[in-house]
Amino acid sequence: MDIATIIGIIVGLGSIGGGIYLAASAAGASMAGFLSTSSFAIVFGGMLASVSVAFPLSEVLKLGSAIAAVFKGGQQKLGDLVDQAVSVAEVARKGTVELEKEVNNIQNPFFKDGVQMVVDGYSIEELTDILNNRIEYREIREKTQADLFKTMGTMAPAWGMIGTLIGLVIMLAGFGGEEGGGTDALGSGMSAALITTFYGAIFANLFFLPMAAKLTTRISYSSTMQALLVEATRLIHQKKHPLIVREKLNSFIPPREWKQEEV
């Protein structure tokens, strides 16, 4: 579970709720005016309608899993992957039989597949091409999820404005009619009309745009991690000395995670 995401949402909702409470208390107003089922329906329903038009239905139906991915815990440290690659490189120098036994001890599925290709006798060009293709198409799949959230973040304020316009039309029609409520109707109607814009802004800026940014960051991190593992697999295929493996892979990670191989 990603604690930062949970903390961010809780702090955001707490700040909004606290601000509403303080402002309402100072004005002697009720907080109930910020709750509107119709406004929520317009914003959320309209937003889902927009992404259904913009994306294939199969991608829209994966929205739940995409949200779950945002709350997923942090990924493995790159420094730990370097340590594992160095360990596998040491085994690889003993021979293919020993390397084949080591495959089952590799936890990362991407790296495990790469080392298995070495055991199976793939050429270095073949395994490099296969692994790089996997990186490329994983990025495409995950960027679609990020784009879905970006679109939702763009559409939510737009539907908030549409809801506001609907509320204004209804408000002004009632205000100008024979049974209009005068200035009281105008004030309450204006307040109700603005709630949809409020909901749209919250959906966009607290949920969907930050979620898109988090997924984009994770895509970049995953690509760096897998590029490191591709290079590690290539070095293992070439039976490079663990010292060389560590020095080359250290270029992928922050200097604070560097370790020196003992000789």
Same-domain pairing of 6 and 79: no
pLDDT in tens, 11-20: 999 999 999 8
Note whether 203 and 162 are same-domain residues.
yes
For tokens 């609907």, the residue is 166
pLDDT in tens, 78-132: 888 999 999 999 999 999 899 999 999 999 999 999 999 999 999 999 999 999 9
Query: Is 111 in the same domain as 52?
Result: yes
Q: Give the span between the Cα atoms of 156 and 206, in whole angstroms.
A: 11
Residues 132, 184 within the same domain: yes
* pLDDT tens digits along 179-232: 555 555 565 567 667 888 999 999 999 999 999 999 999 999 999 999 999 999
Contact 70, 5 (CB under 8 A): yes
Which of 210, 167, 203 is closest to 186 using CA atoms?
A: 167
13 and 68 in a single domain? The answer is no
Residues 31 and 62 in one domain: no
Tokens 């979620």 -> residue: 211
The range of the structural domain enclosing residue 17 comes to 1-35
Number of domain units in the chain: 2
Which of these, 247, 253, 220, lies nearest to 235 by C-alpha position?
Answer: 247
Which H/E stretch holds residue 113?
Answer: helix 109-120
Based on the fold, state whether residues 156 and 31 are members of the same structural domain.
no
The structure tokens 């080359």 sit at 248
pLDDT beyond 70 at 167: yes
Same-domain check for residues 7 and 107? no
Instruction: Say yes or no: 6 and 113 in one domain.
Output: no
Compute the radius of gyration of the chain from its Cα atoms: 27
**Based on the domain organization, do 212 and 105 belong to the same domain?**
yes
CA-angle at 142, arms to 140 and 146, nearest 5°: 110
3-class SS of residue 258:
coil
User: Residues 11, 83: one domain?
Assistant: no
Quick one: pLDDT at residue 176? 58
Whether 85 contacts 170, CB under 8 Å? no
